[in-house]
Amino acid sequence: MGLQIYRAKETELIEGCQRQNREAQHALYRTYSGKMYSLCCRYVKDRMEAEDVLITSFTKIFEKIGQFKGEGSFEGWIRRVVVNESLTYLRRNKNMYLETDIEEAAFEPDYRKLENQLEADDLMKLIEALPVGYRTVFNLYAIDGYTHQEIGEQLGISENTSKSQLSRARALLQKKLVEIEKELIQNTN
């Protein structure tokens, strides 16, 4: 019963937005802006710029809401618009191609120890600290579930470049986890 009520309210919001009803648009924004802002921040490091991307995304959502055909999740459709807008922002600002070389991690971190001491927020901060290209591919692949082919099409890069960026992102994250583990070991001694 609760799911039916939720879907009815969602349908009502969508129809209101299609009629350009300001109250419906405001309600839709209030409902999804928090999650979508977090999504923007995963791609766009600067919080003010992430806000700009969010506003642009919702403008597009309101303009193109008629394209949502009711197939699949409405929130999923919104997420796709926000991810696409974040990627457009990155392409426009040419930050995508910043790369750094890294060395292999000296040893494999003990993830069992780390999982007890690291919170999700800590991991997100590590991901945020990645160079833009690595962070973007990592987010698209590991968090948002895009394939390397889809990532390549979205970013205008080859599938192999996407795989390489993901591999380097993982290696850099592994290196940072090793550093954290060493620091934790030193602090406990």
Share above pLDDT 90 across residues of the chain, in percent, rounded to a whole number:
51
End-to-end C-alpha distance for the chain, whole angstroms: 55
Q: Are 117 and 123 within 8 A, CB to CB? A: no
- Among residues 70, 93, 116, the one where a domain terminates is 93
Q: Are 138 and 170 within 8 A, CB to CB? A: yes
Half-sphere exposure of 168 (CA within 13 A, CB side): 20
| pLDDT tens readout for residues 113-154 | 444 445 666 778 888 889 989 999 999 999 888 999 999 998
pLDDT score at 17: 93
Specify whether 59 is located in the same domain as 110.
Answer: no
Specify whether 51 is located in the same domain as 131.
Answer: no
Containing structural domain, residue 127? 98-188
Specify whether 121 is located in the same domain as 77.
Answer: no
The rounded distance, in Å, linking the Cα atoms of 106 and 137 is 24
- CATH code, domain carrying 33: 1.10.1740.10
| pLDDT tens readout for residues 43-94 | 998 889 999 999 999 999 999 999 998 888 899 999 999 999 999 998 888 6
Q: How many domains does the chain have?
A: 2
The rounded distance, in Å, linking the Cα atoms of 32 and 185 is 41
Specify whether 88 is located in the same domain as 141.
Answer: no
Q: What b/e readout covers 143-163, taking b as 16+ CB neighbours within 10 angstroms?
A: ebebebeebbebbebeeebbe
The answer on pLDDT for 29 being more than 50 is yes
pLDDT score at 176: 86
Q: Give the global pTM.
A: 0.68
The rounded distance, in Å, linking the Cα atoms of 151 and 145 is 10
